[in-house]
Structure 1
Amino acid sequence: MTLPDTSPTLSLRDATRTRSNILLAAQRLFAEKGYTTTGVREVAAAAGVNSTLIRRYFVSKEGLFRAAVEEFLRVDVFIEGNREDFGKRAVKLLIYGEGVTSALAMMMLATADTGARELCSELMHRHITVPLAQWLGGGAGAMARASQINMLWFGYMGARQVLPLTGLEGDALDATRDWLAETIQAIVDRP
């Protein structure tokens, strides 16, 4: 008779997989239904786990939401590379982002809850705006420029994923993306 492997490595691997499954289920549900209407038990059921595991890995619904959003808030993929290509690179990454679970949808649908809205604002500031401002060179105007870029990203993704605008197809969408890349690059290039 062969006994199951109960080594710490196997347990760690299972724990990592369980945590990942919970996070994926939460991201999908928060992006589809919003923070206020998504329950911990619903996330657990979608992940195929007991709801006590959500408390174990994330402590609370807010902790789960924080982890779900933070995983997507990565500015490093935008700022790696040549400064001269930032606008075009940013738009390519936004286009890629249209096809994955939306951190923006999670955040926008969370605005009905005061605590979740404040958390989203804090996470965006810490993970996107501040590092982008530092990359832009710091100083008095860098934070405003980083916020302007962030606002453009937010608007584009909102118009593509959360409340899709009609009329942005084909050539019009291509022209909009070109405009967005040029506008972002102009903000980056501004002294």
Structure 2
Amino acid sequence: MSGPSHDAIIHSASRLFGERGYRAVTVREIAADAGVSASLVMKLFLSKENLYAAVQPEESLLAEPDVPIAELGRALVFRVLMRRERGMQEPWANIALAVLDSPDPHAARAEIRERYLDAITRLIGDPTQDRRFASTVICLMTGFGEAIRTLGLFDGRDLDELVEYYGAIVQTHIDAAKAAT
């Protein structure tokens, strides 16, 4: 059920959960921010946990970009910068919060870890048993997303220059995975 109230709730919840985490945000705060009643939030989503699940970022960051493998590092970095420019939630920056602040951190860690490792392993063609190259790319992208969003690093830097610079760092590990096949 989508409509102005639903969309306002989703927008407020996404922003508040992204800024402060699951445990630090109440349904009443989300409702007040969205300009609706807490009872409407509960009617639409049934629980705070369901609302939290509804606002988790799309996993489009794990979808395969339509670029040659030799440009993949730059494409991944470009996506982070575009989400920042558009004021969108940053999934890479929210990984730690999604795990540590979830209703079940242990289960969230296992699920998110495997989802990201599986997707990046497929994306870069990591042939190693321990998925070391995929793990490194995830570390680099998580750190980049967090540094961009939380610390504001690289604010004011030329976008193309940043894509070239950090994209080349990520690409080194993607190329290493290809060389290991």
Show the 5 A alignment for 1:10-159.
15-17=1-3, 18-69=5-56, 71-99=57-85, 100-104=88-92, 106-109=94-97, 113=101, 115=103, 117-118=105-106, 120-122=108-110, 124-137=112-125, 139-141=127-129, 143-159=131-147
Q: Percent identity?
A: 24
TM-score (norm 1): 0.72
Relative to structure 1, the CA distance from residue 158 to residue 25 in structure 2 (aligned partners, 3 Å threshold; closer, same or farther) is same
TM-score (norm 2): 0.75
The alignment's C-alpha RMSD in Å is 3.1
Contact 1:31-1:105 within 8 A present in 2 as well: no
Deviation at 1:175, TM superposition (A): 5.7
Relative to structure 1, the CA distance from residue 25 to residue 106 in structure 2 (aligned partners, 3 Å threshold; closer, same or farther) is farther
Structure of higher CA gyration radius: 1
Distance in 2 (CA, whole Å) between partners of 1:44 and 1:116 is 24
Deviation at 1:43, TM superposition (A): 0.9
Unaligned runs of 5+ in 2: none
Q: Does 1:179 align with 2:165?
A: yes
